[in-house]
């Protein structure tokens, strides 16, 4: 979707308003912490465009409406594969049925202007935002969006500074449901003499807590794997992001930024995983963790190709316990 799609905003709003599901569950973001069982799976090292029509529905404003594929995405991670020289994705899908049924789409390879246009549509909410192909001139984005039938107010930050992010985190009228971290593009001194917080940019989605049904106590923090697993004492982690080599150089105790919601069941966070450790089957996401009598579904997935030489952190995942 290029900038020319900005001219179809009114048509898009009309089409969405006429195709929304009724009686959809809330609050927004429940997919990652809900205790209701759901069939789920993962797809690894895939061209994001190939997910359309198989694991995620796509918009079709012209011509006949495509039938739903019966699945929807709840998380996607985009990374550059040096072997194929392409941007590939790892994604988590769930069955779009029962308590999880909603109108949802994957929107791939769009511009900042397109993201701003989509964020302005009150009948939609962005659940996950991934930026990639960063340069001094442009950045590409991939989004997971779903319907917003109650019209909760939302705010999307794009390439925001830490101060901008913090201003919303400190405001109790908003809660974050997704944060993406990336380093500033262009030429720079990799490790200057002093830490520069402007080296990192943040893309984030916030939803309003003004309506009682959408309120959830939510925390955002920097920390290690042990810090993340300790969050079991007060909630469930729903999103984990690497803070990047710049921050990790100056603050080795801050390799991750993570979101915790005061809801759901317990969870496990694991890092340095291989594909076989993360998922037994791409069609049935079940991971036997730490030799415990426990099967869990994955709710957050991050990391590049399963190549330890290229990606020393390996793969990271949050497993929600039943």
pLDDT digits (tens, 9 = 90+) for 201-259: 899 999 999 888 888 999 999 999 999 999 999 899 999 998 888 788 888 899 999 99
Q: Could you give the CA distance from residue 239 to residue 228 in angstroms, rounded to a whole number?
A: 10
Lookup: tokens for 308: 């330890």
DSSP 53: T
At 72, which helix (H) or strand (E)? strand 71-81
Residue corresponding to tokens 């944060």: 179
- Could you give the C-alpha distances from 116 to 153, 160, 192, 233, in angstroms and in order? 14, 13, 33, 37
Is omega for the bond preceding 27 within 30 degrees of 0, making it cis?
Answer: yes
Cβ distance 273 to 16 under 8 Å? no
Reply yes or no on whether the pLDDT at 283 is more than 80.
no
**What does the DSSP assignment read for 96-145?**
--GGG---EEEEEEE-HHHHHHHHT-TTEEEEEEEEES--SS--EEEEEE
pLDDT digits (tens, 9 = 90+) for 109-132: 999 999 999 999 998 999 999 999
Strands 104-110 and 71-81: unpaired
Q: What is the pTM of this model?
A: 0.84
At 92, which helix (H) or strand (E)? strand 86-95
Of 149-163, 184-198, 231-245, where does mean pLDDT reach its minimum? 184-198
**What does the DSSP assignment read for 178-218?**
EEEEEEPPSS--SS-SS--GGGEEEEEEEEE--SGGG---E
Reply yes or no on whether the pLDDT at 31 is more than 50.
yes
């Amino acid at each position: 979707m290029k900038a020319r799609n900005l001219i179809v905003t009114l048509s898009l709003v009309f089409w969405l308003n006429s195709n929304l599901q009724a009686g959809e569950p809330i609050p927004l973001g429940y997919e990652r912490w809900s205790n209701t069982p759901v069939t789920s799976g993962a797809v690894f090292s895939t061209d994001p465009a190939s997910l359309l029509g198989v694991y995620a529905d796509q918009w079709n404003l012209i011509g006949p409406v495509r039938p739903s594929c019966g699945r929807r995405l709840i998380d996607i991670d985009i990374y550059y594969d040096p072997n194929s020289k392409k941007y590939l994705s790892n994604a988590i899908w769930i069955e779009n049925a029962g308590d999880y049924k909603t109108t949802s789409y994957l929107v791939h390879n769009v511009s900042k202007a397109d993201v701003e246009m989509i964020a302005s549509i009150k009948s939609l909410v962005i659940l996950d935002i991934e930026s990639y192909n960063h340069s001094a001139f442009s950045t590409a984005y991939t989004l997971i969006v779903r319907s917003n039938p109650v019209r909760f107010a939302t705010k999307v930050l794009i390439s925001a500074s830490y101060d901008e992010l913090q201003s919303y985190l400190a405001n109790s009228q908003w809660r974050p449901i997704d944060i993406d971290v990336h380093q500033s593009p262009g030429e720079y001194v990799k490790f200057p003499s002093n830490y520069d917080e402007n080296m990192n940019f943040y893309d984030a989605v916030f939803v309003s807590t003004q309506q009682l049904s959408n309120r959830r106590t939510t925390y955002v923090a920097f920390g290690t794997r042990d810090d993340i697993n300790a969050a079991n004492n007060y909630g469930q982690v729903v999103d984990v992001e690497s803070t990047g080599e710049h921050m990790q150089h100056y603050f080795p105790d801050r390799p991750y930024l993570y979101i915790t919601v005061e809801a759901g069941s317990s969870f496990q966070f694991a890092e340095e995983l291989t594909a076989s450790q993360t998922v037994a089957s791409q069609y049935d996401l079940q991971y036997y963790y730490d030799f415990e009598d426990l099967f869990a579904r994955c709710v957050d997935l991050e990391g590049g190709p399963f190549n330890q030489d290229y990606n020393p952190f390996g793969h990271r995942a949050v497993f929600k316990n039943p």
